Amino acid sequence: MRIFVTGGTGFIGSHFINKALAAGHDVVAIRREGSEAKIRLVEQPRWEAASLAEAKRLFDDGNCRDIDVLVHFAAAGVLPHESNWFDCCQSNVVDSLALWKSAVAAGVRRIVSCGSFFEYGAAGARYERIPVSCPLEPFGPYASSKAAATILLTGMARDSGIEAAVLRPFHVYGEGEDGSRLWPSLRASAEKKFDFPMTKGEQIRDMVPVDIVADSFLAVATRRELKPGEPEVHNVGTGVPMSVLAFASYWWSRWNASGKLIPGALSYRPNEVMRCVPELSLDT
């Protein structure tokens, strides 16, 4: 299968490319000039030098022919300090929609897009396990723009009769994750034999390894039967809820860290949702 990938140098995208190439698929991916994948790629895809805003021209100009599926990871504002309303809406909504429409016009019949559990926002706190039918009540520009993108892609799929799916990964962790996140921060402190200040860690989460997420995207992109004009939305997780403190304690012990975890040293974030656990429906 011939797969076009955006966000291929990113955290989840890098793992997806490795798995897609290992499975024998032909992968075309965009990247900005000088950008490198977050993890080592065993094999290189065919890279096209383009930003997300420029990617539509690859379909408009006929440079990308016979693409079977577009897998869309590229997004602005994933890291909170990089999140602002204009950039998130421009990239996650306007540029993404333009790419999808050009791809469909060029004959692409399947689009699989990476959503976010942040789309649920405040509404997620009302559920023991969040279903995909949960209302979307996001906080901030990143989550709001991702929710808008989901609505646009699913609406476009119904209108144009293409196959489409949005996968919402929950708390993904693993190699290549940004160093400011919990898991890599924990590991860095453990390796340096530092103590690790953290919140009380009472938040309940579904912490999902990035390999599981990449496998889920590959299965939906290449194997799952999707019905034209009937878009699907799925949560991606392990199905095993745990507290952030339990997660941190597990890895702290596994790494034989000599420092101490210091729960309660940090305050919770504004609008912190204390329980965020998905209802899983994806059978891949």
CATH number, residue 28: 3.40.50.720
Tokens of 22: 């290992």
Burial of 253 (0-12, 13-18, 19+ CB in 10 A): exposed
- Write down the pTM of the prediction: 0.95
Characterize the bridge pairing of strands 110-114 and 163-169.
parallel
- The domain of 247 spans 176-205+241-271
Does 122 lie in the same domain as 57?
yes
For residue 228, tell me if it sits in a domain. yes
Residues 108 and 196 grouped into a single domain: no
122 and 260 in a single domain? The answer is: no
Judge if 125 and 263 occupy the same domain: no
Examine the domain organization and report whether 120 and 143 are in the same domain.
yes
Position 145 in a domain: yes
> In this structure, are 9 and 132 located in the same domain?
yes
Beta sheet of 163-169, edge-to-edge order: 46-49, 26-31, 2-6, 69-72, 110-114, 163-169, 232-236
Do 41 and 157 lie in one domain? The reply is: yes
**Segment 111-139, tens digit of pLDDT:** 999 999 999 999 998 999 999 999 999 99
pLDDT at residue 10 in the model = 95
Is 282 domain-assigned? no
Q: Are residues 248 and 130 in the same domain?
A: no
Torsions phi, psi for 49 (to 5 deg): -75, 105
The answer to whether residues 234 and 168 touch, using CB atoms and an 8 Å cutoff, is yes
Tell me if 280 is assigned to some domain.
no
Averaged pLDDT, 86-97: 97
Q: Are residues 43 and 155 in the same domain?
A: yes
In a domain, 266, yes or no: yes
Express each pLDDT in 56-70 by its tens digit. Answer: 999 999 888 899 999
The separation between CA 173 and the C-alpha centre of its own chain, rounded to angstroms, equals 11
Q: Quick one: 110 and 188 in the same domain?
A: no
Residue 122 domain-assigned (yes or no): yes
pLDDT of amino acid 89: 97
pLDDT (mean) for 236-243: 96
Q: Same domain for 43 and 104? A: yes
Confidence of residue 284 (pLDDT cuts 50, 70, 90): low
The mean of the pLDDT values for the chain is 95
Looking at the fold, whether 195 and 213 belong to one and the same domain comes out as no
* Counted domains in the chain: 2
Per the structure block, which two tokens stand in for 193?
């034999």
pLDDT at 80 over 80: no
Rounded (5°) CA angle 75-214-29: 55
Residue 281: inside a domain: no
**Which of the four pLDDT bands, split at 50, 70 and 90, describes residue 82?**
confident
